[in-house]
Amino acid sequence: MNRFETIEREMIEWRHHLHRNPEFGFEEINTAAFVAEKLRSWGIQVIEGVGKTGVVGSLTLGTGKRAIALRADMDALRISERSDLPYRSQALGTMHACGHDGHVAMLLGAARILAEEGGFDGTVRFVFQPAEEWGRGALSMLDDGLMARFPFSEVYGIHNMPGMPVGRFATRIGSIMAAEDIFEIRLDGTGGHAARPHHTNEVLVAACALVVNLQTIVSRRLDPADMAVVSVTELIADGTRNALPGTATILGDARSMRSEVSAEIERRMRQIVDGTASAYGCSASIDYGREFVPLVNTSEQTRVALEAAASVFGPGAVEDDIAPIAASEDFARLLEKVPGNFAFIGNGETSAPLHNPSYDFNDNVLRQGAEYFVAVARQRLR
């Protein structure tokens, strides 16, 4: 039995413990304490409370000056678990529906192997970040001095992928996950009697025109080769059955694969909102925010990831040009600071989707995930 097989049993126990005790973003108090206690017990230097509830472990061997970071996310979601698993969530209304319990267990497994067996020269940073689902955790660690206090020159992360067979690994060079922008548009006019619209500057017709006009950003303003989505998801107006509304709020979400496209969506949206509002004689304001930035893998580090993955998963099980997906990940914030790679590992074809009440991380993936992280560290810090 090799070392990974022995540790596999422990990783499964850790994973089930975490699954039973999920914690929402920035509330990962017990999760962080669990991670810190494990890392310390293997002689790894640990700092807690980085970016609120984040944990960073540092392990240095030899005389090498290079440092790389391996990252896992720790937070759960406000979803009520639907399962009869023996280790199902004990926290009402909160569950690990994105598999971050598995990500933590895999990175802990890798940390233990590297602490006990070494095989590298330099420093490995184990970054356990809070609040990925909010898109705030990585930023919060960066704002708390992550790069200055725990310098590293590249970073690697993985996410499980339902629908992809267990034992498969996939990534690509360049954009792999989307930016998420959120917007809130407010229209102001004057409401009034439904029978006397000519005495009002009501906003509902303007709001409806705006919802339609916003669809021309993707269909008429962006290059068709660029992936983008503009979705209006809510329209709230203050009218009643026989009174026209004087204010309306339109909310929505836009996705894109490149920062330039995100900037262009915002520019075009402002143009369309101003033009439509003035055409209907009302005034408008927009709050446009960037929740997630696009996740862009660098080429050298992606080649490293592919090589490490081939040594673990087998060359035939590694896909080097997976199609980008429109979901978002705040690992992207780390890639704004240093080069690195983010990849997917199969969670099984029968796995429930992410963020689904019946989802569960696949324990058969733990060992390969840990082996992958170890292979990356040994390859980069020879």
* Sites of contact with Zn ion (CB under 5 A): 98
Q: Considering the complex, state which of residue 98 and residue 214 has its C-beta at the smaller distance from Zn ion.
A: 98
CB atoms within 10 A of CB 149: 12
Contact 114, 4 (CB under 8 A): no
Q: How far apart are CA 354 and CA 98, in angstroms?
A: 5
Instruction: Report d(CA 338, CA 159) in Å as an integer.
Output: 19
Question: Of the two residues 71 and 112, which places its CB atom closer to Zn ion in the complex?
Answer: 71
Token pair in block for residue 36:
């810190």
d(CA 370, CA 12): 12
Query: Would you say 98 or 377 has its CB closer to Zn ion?
Result: 98
Measure the CA–CA gap between 7 and 367, rounded to whole angstroms: 8
45-50 and 228-237 as β-strands: parallel, antiparallel, unpaired? unpaired
Closer residue to Zn ion in complex, CB, 96/168: 96
Q: How far is the CB of 329 from Zn ion (least distance, A)?
A: 7
Q: Which amino acid is at 14?
A: W
Cβ atoms of residues 272 and 252 within 8 Å? no
Nearer to Zn ion, 109 or 137 (CB): 137
Token pair belonging to 236:
């709230």
Closer residue to Zn ion (CB): 134 or 288: 134
Element (H, E) at 368: helix 366-380
Structure tokens at 289: 């925010």
Rounded to a whole number of angstroms, the minimum distance from the CB of residue 132 to Zn ion is: 6
